[in-house]
Amino acid sequence: MSEEEVNQDDIKTEEAEQENNETPEVEKKPDKKALEKERKEIITKMLRIQKEFMELERKTGVTEKDIHHNPQGIVKEYKEEHEKLANRLVDIAHALKGSIRT
């Protein structure tokens, strides 16, 4: 085999290896407009949840113990939804600032 044929074989092998290997994902910069919009929507939802919960609290006399120790029913739903939104809000804040959540 000539040296030229060997070099072509090496090039073909390298190309095949590159095709088979997953290319590392290019680090994408966050879409700040989309994140800001989502952040505003989350804050609006959280305020709505808090308002609804305060109304429930006034009507049924829900206590802090009901919220933190063994939430059930609608109280549990409010708490879980609020926590989920709060966590997403923190993630968005980190994405906007370019920091990482620890």
Residue 47 belongs to a domain: yes
CA 1 to chain centre: 56
- In order of 35, 37, 69, 76, the CA distances from 94 in angstroms are 11, 15, 30, 27
The confidence band for 102, taking pLDDT boundaries of 50, 70 and 90, is: confident
Q: What average pLDDT does the segment 5-32 reach?
A: 56
**pLDDT tens track for 47-80:** 998 898 888 888 988 877 777 787 888 888 888 9
Residue 14 belongs to a domain: no
Residue 49 belongs to a domain: yes
Residue 79 belongs to a domain: yes
For the cut 90, the answer to whether the pLDDT of residue 84 exceeds it is yes
d(CA 29, CA 98): 9
Domain that holds residue 78: 30-97
Residue 3 belongs to a domain: no
d(CA 72, CA 78): 10
Nearest to 77 by CA among 49, 55, 58, 57: 49
d(CA 92, CA 90): 5
What is the domain count for the chain? 1
Nearest to 68 by CA among 51, 56, 86, 80: 80
